[in-house]
Amino acid sequence: MLSFVYKKILQLLEENPTLKRQYLKLAVLCSNNGIRPPLSGKADKVEKGWMEQELGHPSRNPLFYVEHDESVDLLFLDILPFLDEEANILEIGCNAGRNLNYLYSRGFKKLTGIEIGVKAEDVMKEHFSDAYKSTKYIVGNAYEELLRLPSSHYDLVFVHSVLVNIAPRWNAIFKEIARVSKSYVLTMENEGSYLAYPRDFEKMFKKVGLKQILFKFYNLYEERRVLRHQFIRNEIFKNNTVRLFVHVK
């Protein structure tokens, strides 16, 4: 019965864009304040799925994150000119290491990645062996692992399509990201992911002392056209929002 009601609600939202936008606002409000949005998955189940990296679930299979796609180029487009090759770089949710390999291929060797999935490290070893040798690969819960890292150490901390999958009970992760970063924090998220844990990321990082200096929308299937709204479901690389933050001095 509950499953039927849930599906009917989703159908209603899909058929009514205005209602869907209103629900997204509610989901953001909930997540910002540490509350699971009504239609979002239970934190334990979601985290277990990402940790076990269910091979039958395309977006959780680490092999899904091996092939290069244009989102990686767009993520780093504006930040790379401001980093030298000695920069310490941390990725939260590095999965199979595609993004770290991109940086490695451009001369960056001081790389660290945190990944909750237990299978992804072996995939990186196989597909990006050289980059793996230059990476400190940490397997575990992102928030808990960040607590173990030094303050003001990383010239760049970046996240690609991960923060919307971190449950609101871990909202303290924003404070930890700010703490370990020395210069820049870079995010790319599908902020219209209303069934995940969407947030007002500018607001969340502002609370912990970071200032947003860059904000862009990308739709990779429509010639990088800037969009006013992001409401296309189940397309992980559509309607990505890139944000760049710096510490307020």
First to last CA, the chain: 54
SS3 content of the chain, % helix, strand, coil (to 5): 40, 20, 40
Closest C-alpha among 227, 222, 157, 168 to residue 192: 227
pTM of the model: 0.91
pLDDT digits (tens, 9 = 90+) for 157-172: 999 999 999 999 999 9
Q: Give the tens place of pLDDT for each residue, 192-240.
A: 888 999 999 999 999 999 999 998 877 655 444 443 334 344 443 357 8
* Pair of tokens at residue 85: 């090759």
Instruction: Map out the domains of the chain with their CATH numbers.
Output: 2-247 (3.40.50.150)
Taking residue 44's Cβ as centre, other Cβ atoms within 10 Å add up to: 10
